Amino acid sequence: MPSPNRKDQLWRFSSVDLLDLSPFKVPGVLSDDDRGNVLKYSRGLDEVAARMILANDQLVERNVVSVQLKKRGVIFQPLERAMVEHADLFQKHFMSQPAVLGSAKFAALHKARVSSGTFLFVPRGVEIELPIEIFHWLRGENMSIFPHLLLVT
């Protein structure tokens, strides 16, 4: 698949020749110290409907939605778990609309490399009053992740 070039409308003001993706690599496993730091710095709001913390494409912690929201059909899960437990709903909506992401090449790269993220399903007529926090951290030099949020309402 060709890389974008300056003739592409979205890239006309970019120095595409300077774009080198070769040094980027898949992140490794977090150390216990890194995991502790991620948890320490992932506290934005005191009161949330749910929180998910991911680092280096790994789930670090998840605070699930309340029993009341679950009873109303709200689903808040790591993407990879939703792929299995809610396969029909997931397959119907995952990457079902074209993602621009700057070029077809980067959209394809994202689709091929996505391995973590968040799935949030809110049935019609259900309102979540408190915010939901999702943290994505990346630890290490020249690391790349492709997290995905699939929000279905």
Instruction: Copy the structure tokens of residue 126.
Output: 């259900």
Instruction: Copy the structure tokens of residue 136.
Output: 């994505």
The pLDDT score that the predictor gives to residue 84 is 95
User: What's the rounded Cα separation, in Å, for the pair 14 and 16?
Assistant: 6
What pLDDT digit, counting tens, does each position of 3-39 carry?
Answer: 777 777 777 777 877 878 888 888 999 999 999 999 9
User: What's the rounded Cα separation, in Å, for the pair 125 and 74?
Assistant: 11
Tell me the torsion sign for CA atoms 87, 91, 95, 97. Answer: negative
1: pLDDT strictly greater than 80:
no
Single out the residue of 62, 60, 52, 53 nearest to residue 31, CA to CA.
60
